[in-house]
Structure 1
Amino acid sequence: MKILKVCSLNYYPVVADFYRRNLWIRDLPYAQHKQFLLDFSPVHLNRFSEYMRGLGYECDEVVTDLESLQFQWAKENGFDCPQGGWRMEILLKQIETIKPDLLYFQDISTLPPAIRRRLKNYYPFLKGTIVYRGFPIYQPGLEDVDLLLTGAANLLEEYNKQGIAARFLPHAFEAKVLDKVDAWQSPFHGQSFDFSFLGYSGHGGYGTHHRDRLEFLRNLLRDTQLECWLAEQSEPEQSSEPPLPTQFPNRCHPGLMGLDMYQVLQQSKVVFNKHSSAHPGQVENMRLFEATGIGTCLLTDYGDNLSSLFELDHELVAYHSYEECIEKLNYLLDHPKARDDIAKAAQRRTLRDHTWEQRADAVDQYIKEVFKKA
């Protein structure tokens, strides 16, 4: 059975900054360019396809929002793509060329819903579609999806009620970054950080579900020595407060991804995490697994389901309020042995239970259930 995974990197300012610092990558042949990205491990591009191949599938992936990569594929495959609408046009040509049995959408935004729903009509070889919903917001109009994967309990329940085959699949850690992160020469290689945050601050774009994090970060920057690497949107912000990099220019840096991000996580004593407000009381974002997998101590907001993923106060530390966050941060910084013990226990747990290789095993079982894989 042949699977094509459709993903995107999404964090446009971070991606653009990375390519500005590594202009030579744009000139690589398609296969070398993509292999470099797989080794670099940015955001949603991981070794999932490799693990699925190890389970007997033919599996490949395309990254639909990387213009230089996608246009190189088009060039090498003799496809004269128009500049307008290139993301959709190249993806449709890739589906036509690769002829997968299953499409696995890590990101469904590339295709308009009306086109996605008719894919089986366009491509008779296509047996089904799989969609991953990582953000815990219900999205209607997915009745055409054959298998929906999510780590959000609320979505699991909602989609199953509609008769959509929904299965549980949390985010995970790409363990192969451990082979490369020590030697990687990031812009912050060799530095040490007491308290770090990496990710989307909540300023501009991505809706209102991240606004609580923005104010939380503002207070932490005021009250602690927090250092931030921020994925920011440039859209106007309806706020009397300036953006965090304007207010705290010495401790707010441009966002990072891939090995650049993992190296800062690894070099941090404590990493801060706060989920969106999309589904209060439930937690399960990528940072839970990235920080614990790389071997750092994670300080994260509490959720009712957190103890099903990690052992509280042994494998990570959770807070219920701003005051408790500060109190626990100070304890962790003042007690290096306790902090290191938590970080090591968290890494053991993540490598045991929460890697993409293990998630691939789960996807294999779900495919066999839903598609009756021969």
Structure 2
Amino acid sequence: MRVLILNADYPKFLTWLYRRSPELANASYVQQMAARNASLFGVADFYSRNFIFLGHQATDIHVNNWSLQSAWAREHGMAVESEEAPATTQRVPAWLKRVAAPVKPLLRPLARHLGLSPRLKRQSEEILLAQVEEHKPDFVLNQDVFHVDSRLVRRIKQIGSPFLVGQVGIEPSRGVDWSPYDLMISQLPRIVSKFRLAGVRAEVNHLAFEPDILNRLSPPSTPDVDVSFVGSISEDHRGRIALLEFLARRYDLKIWGNISQTVSASSPLWKCLQGEVWGAEMYETLRRSRVTLNSHIDIAGDEAGNVRLFEATGIGAFLLTDFKRNLQSLFEPDIEVAVWRSPEECAVAIDRYLADEGARKAVATAGQQKTLAHHTYRRRVEEILAFLAQ
């Protein structure tokens, strides 16, 4: 089976990738793709490599990486009219972001119409369609339903009628026509239920960890960070902000990631900020931490499933995560991951595990064993293939 995997990267990551290697933008498509995957950022080539291992042809396309996509176009005889920045959005005032956060699913269609949400430009769309035409996939996995929207998916569907699967980790936008998809997958059971209520076939398929990452990093050193958080902090993370502000006043908390301008200038989180880390550097940061924290985005509700669960445990870090009703289906609380239900309970757990290295290492080891046995991208790809077989 020929598999095509569509994805989009954060613009900040693309800036980091090409700034650290300025010559990369002029390299061939193959060389740029190799550098992109070597960064280990996001899902890299983790899905495609496992489809290939299981006997299928698989190709990744990063739809909003203009340097990469224009290199492919030139190498395939397509005229590239002008340089096109990766898909961008217009700046939205901080106060409007705060107000709009609870009703984003309702506002996304309007935001898209007004040019306030990511979308591909005409040249990028035409390059993508040419790639689909060349690969003639039997199966397309679209991991970014915003850049590659339903209108564009419908055009892809007309090229050889591939089986189309969309992957969504957040609340589906209202008013969107999901009918071009044959299947939607999500790590959140609640999102799956919403798609089913809308008459769309949907299944739970969790995120994961790629074991080969362990072979790509330097040997682990002695942890030198007491408490860390790695990730984004924005108007969509009100629970996360409350937790981290509580802890920042009590510990030498270090934050790697980005903090939205919607967060108050007086917040103690700004003093904790260490900058952004991507891919391999992110994994190294998790491994440097005696305690690394996890807090799901607000829209996750009472369901666990973000990628940090698997990245932190897979790399062998001690993870202290927020308790969710389905967490036990993924990890055994306080055996494979430590849990908190309130900021105060989180602080108690931090004190306990910082003082007990043996207990901390036992949890980290058990968590890593669980992830390497049950939460790998190989397992997730096998699940997807089982869905297709049905």
TM-score (norm 2): 0.84
**In structure 2, C-alpha distance between the alignment counterparts of 1:270 and 1:357, rounded to whole Å:** 28
**Which segment drifts farther, 271-280 or 105-114?**
105-114
In structure 2, relative to structure 1, the CA distance for the partners of 1:181 and 1:296 (3 Å cut) is same
Unaligned runs of 5+ in 2: 85-120
CA deviation profile, 1:158-181 (whole Å, cap 9, x unmatched): 222333221110010011100011
CA deviation profile, 1:62-121 (whole Å, cap 9, x unmatched): 111222222221221222234452432322221122221222101122234323234323
Q: What's the C-alpha RMSD, in Å, of the aligned pairs? A: 2.2
CA deviation profile, 1:300-323 (whole Å, cap 9, x unmatched): 111000011000000001101010
Aligned to 2:231: 199
In structure 2, relative to structure 1, the CA distance for the partners of 1:366 and 1:194 (3 Å cut) is same
**In structure 2, C-alpha distance between the alignment counterparts of 1:137 and 1:333, rounded to whole Å:** 40
Unaligned runs of 5+ in 1: 203-207, 370-374
Whether the 8 Å CA contact 2:320–2:337 is kept in 1: the answer is yes
Relative contact order higher in (CA < 8 Å, ≥ 6 apart): 1
2:254 aligned with 1:227: yes
1:95 pairs with one of 129, 132, 136:
132
Aligned to 2:118: none
Whether the 8 Å CA contact 1:46–1:174 is kept in 2: the answer is no
Aligned to 1:314: 335
Aligned to 1:241: 265
2:180 aligned with 1:130: no
Question: Per the alignment, in what secondary structure is the counterpart of residue 200 of structure 2?
Answer: coil
Whether the 8 Å CA contact 2:45–2:60 is kept in 1: the answer is no
> What amino acid is aligned across from residue 61 of structure 1 in structure 2?
D
Question: Per the alignment, in what secondary structure is the counterpart of residue 309 of structure 2?
Answer: helix
**In structure 2, C-alpha distance between the alignment counterparts of 1:78 and 1:215, rounded to whole Å:** 53
Whether the 8 Å CA contact 2:290–2:318 is kept in 1: the answer is yes
**In structure 2, C-alpha distance between the alignment counterparts of 1:180 and 1:134, rounded to whole Å:** 27
Whether the 8 Å CA contact 1:299–1:317 is kept in 2: the answer is yes
Displacement of 1:15: 3.5
TM-score (norm 1): 0.87
In structure 2, relative to structure 1, the CA distance for the partners of 1:240 and 1:180 (3 Å cut) is closer
CA deviation profile, 1:206-239 (whole Å, cap 9, x unmatched): xx43232223223322221111111345xx52x5
CA deviation profile, 1:32-91 (whole Å, cap 9, x unmatched): 221232232211323211111222221111111222222221221222234452432322
| Paired positions, count | 351
**Which segment drifts farther, 110-119 or 56-65?**
110-119
> What amino acid is aligned across from residue 303 of structure 2 in structure 1?
Q
Aligned to 2:380: 359
**In structure 1, C-alpha distance between the alignment counterparts of 2:47 and 2:30, rounded to whole Å:** 17
Percent identity of paired positions between Structure 1 and Structure 2: 28
In structure 2, relative to structure 1, the CA distance for the partners of 1:242 and 1:43 (3 Å cut) is farther
2:145 aligned with 1:108: yes
2:211 aligned with 1:175: yes
